Amino acid sequence: MAHFDLDTFLRTQQARVESLLLERADRLAPSGAPPRLVEAMRYSLLAGGKRLRPVLCLTFADTVARASLVSPVSGDAACALEYVHTYSLVHDDLPAMDDDDFRRGRPTNHKVYGEAMAILAGDALLTEAFVLLGDGPEPVRGALCRELAVASGASGMVGGQVLDTAEDRPAVLDYLVRMHRLKTGALIRAACRMGALAGGGDAEALVRAQLYGDAVGLAFQIADDVLDVTATREQLGKPAGADAEAGRHTFPAVVGLDASRRMAEEQVALAVEAVRPLEGEDGPLAALARYVVERKS
Amino acid sequence: MAHFDLDTFLRTQQARVESLLLERADRLAPSGAPPRLVEAMRYSLLAGGKRLRPVLCLTFADTVARASLVSPVSGDAACALEYVHTYSLVHDDLPAMDDDDFRRGRPTNHKVYGEAMAILAGDALLTEAFVLLGDGPEPVRGALCRELAVASGASGMVGGQVLDTAEDRPAVLDYLVRMHRLKTGALIRAACRMGALAGGGDAEALVRAQLYGDAVGLAFQIADDVLDVTATREQLGKPAGADAEAGRHTFPAVVGLDASRRMAEEQVALAVEAVRPLEGEDGPLAALARYVVERKS
């Protein structure tokens, strides 16, 4: 049996996401939004990146529906996830937060447009995610709004960012796992669940999407921490070793590099297990789970 | 005929809003949100204020449904509007934006919790608004999400804030009206339309809510600018004359105090006209429209 060709699959799906994003970003200016705001939003939204969340969403939708969906619902869900992810990066990079000058190899949003505009561009990206989700008559859109909002809010992504920047955060594994389950895990899980919802999945598909998303989210964050130790600046598009320098608590710092890698592998195995009944052996979701820990940037 | 008793009505409705907000704010901590984040969100959310947007929303819902609704949909819609309004105040007050130290007579959010937490508390309030709207099976919730998101996003409230802070903004009436229609008008209009939607209103009710909301929104902003010239610090809970000092363009500065007052009165007349077929003579919506320009703070 031919091995699943992840490289081709990933390139195809990423190109699909770029085109879905561009289509929606092109609607911002005619809607009456100020041109400078639209420019700042597009600067960060269309800056490339792995597009992991929308790719997971579309792959789940296709897998569950057993067809490559052309439904506007899955496209809107995929793009809404990337809008929210992008807003979180723009706000995290602000001087009052992580104070980062570079992101994906380019100056961060506030370095180009100023701090006020970066705050507003982030606010607008978050809000426009819900414009996308609300933009149609399909009844599933209400559930998608709720899924995205819960994952991104006070008990999801924003809550995780608060835990990550708390001055009295303990350098212990429990706290680190809890923080990342909120900060990055919640949105990755939502990406999988929203894909399953958009694809018309039943309750079992939703549970499998959740199990897979939880495992892939944690594996992703561990791999990120490992890459910060082992990768080069060129591979990352930002200075390597930045976590240690900023005094951030990471998996390698708390449990060591080898144990971190083992934990990531365990999570990948859980994820692969969870989706086997949905896609059979050696499908795209299993390949994506492996990619998350094997990527070089 | 007895004159409609606005004072009692307003006090009753505001108490109703406080209790709806408190009920929902009390659900934040058990949801798993970090306590410090919940505290920062509650600090600004439960700081009083006129609660104009939720009161307009509930009054429209009651008027259109011809009953005092106890539906969770109208309560969620009213609170979601106040969440979004509150987040916009928290972000507008930030050092990188208007850099205000006081709001409603108390230190602003970032003065108490720091800049990073104020950014995150604002982000969380915005996001939790959509959690509220998505929290139930009623099909109207999708339309409410879309209404709120469009009003708050790049071609609504955030867009208006960008126009207001643009360095090259011209001191002409057209620009001022366009800016305020986005910055404050869009959300006030949404409050009215969301109330009509939550109350089960038909297409005519929605159009009347929109006409009323547009007029009241503009009247509200003109009255705000007039108050900044004529009221005292004690009445406003913040320094009076702050607009002029900050070089902000205001209606009195652009067209004079008398013309500003006349414009506000004209808008009130339009608003009263728009809702007469919904509530008859001398109803609460007409009284609210008059209150918007006659208030002292």
- Tens digit of each residue's pLDDT (9 = 90 or more) over B173-199: 999 999 999 999 999 999 999 999 999
**Contact (CB<8Å) B127/A96:** no
User: Which residues are CB-neighbours of A119 under 8 A, at least 6 positions away?
Assistant: A91, A94, B91, B94, B96, B97, B119
pLDDT at residue B242 is higher than 80: no
- pLDDT(B137) > 90: no
Give CA–CA dist B57/A255, Å, rounded: 53
A201-223 pLDDT, tens digit each: 999 999 999 999 999 999 999 99
| H helix intervals, B26-136 | 35-45, 52-65, 72-92, 109-113, 115-133
Please give the ipTM for the structure prediction.
0.94
- Domain membership of residue A1 (yes or no) is no
Within a domain: A155? yes
Contact A34 B163 (CB under 8 A): yes
Domain residues for A290? 6-294
Do the domain assignments include residue A219?
yes
pLDDT at A195: 97
Residue A4 pLDDT class (50, 70, 90 cuts): confident
| Mean pLDDT, residues B126-138 taken together | 94
For residue B69, pLDDT over 70 is answered with no
What are the tokens at A226? 């490992």
Give the pLDDT score at B241: 72
Judge whether residue A1 has pLDDT over 50.
Answer: no
Measured between CB atoms, which of A126, A154, A161 is closest to B28?
Answer: A154
**Residue B1, in any domain of the structure:** no
The pLDDT of residue A104 is 85
CATH code of the domain covering residue A199: 1.10.600.10
Best residue in A27, A133, A155 to probe B by mutation, most B CBs within 10 Å? A155
Tell me how close the Cα of B23 comes to any Cα of chain A, in angstroms: 16
Question: What is the pLDDT at residue A230?
Answer: 87
Q: Which backbone phi and psi does A107 adopt, to 5 degrees?
A: -55, 145
**pLDDT for res A97:** 94
More confident site: B67 or B190 = B190
pLDDT at residue B231 in the model: 78
Separation of alpha carbons A125 and B231, rounded Å? 37
DSSP label of A106: E
Q: Quick check: is A134 in a domain? A: yes
In terms of C-beta distances under 8 Å and separation of at least 24 residues, what long-range contacts does A171-177 make, across chains too? A171/A249, A171/A253, A171/A254, A172/A254, A173/A254, A173/A255, A175/A249, A176/A249, A176/A250, A176/A251, A176/A254, A177/A218
Chain A neighbors of B120, CB-CB under 8 A: 91, 158, 161-162
How many domains in chain B?
1
Q: Does residue B207 have a pLDDT over 50?
A: yes
Mean pLDDT of all residues belonging to chain B: 93
pLDDT of residue B236: 67
CB B227 within 8 A of CB B236: yes
Q: Is B240 exposed, middle or buried (0-12, 13-18, 19+ CB in 10 A)?
A: middle
Chain B CB contacts of A159 below 8 Å: 32-34, 37, 124
User: Which residue of B79, B130, B169 is the best one to mutate when testing the A interface, meaning the one whose CB has the most A CBs within 10 A?
Assistant: B130
- Farthest CA pair distance, chain B: 55
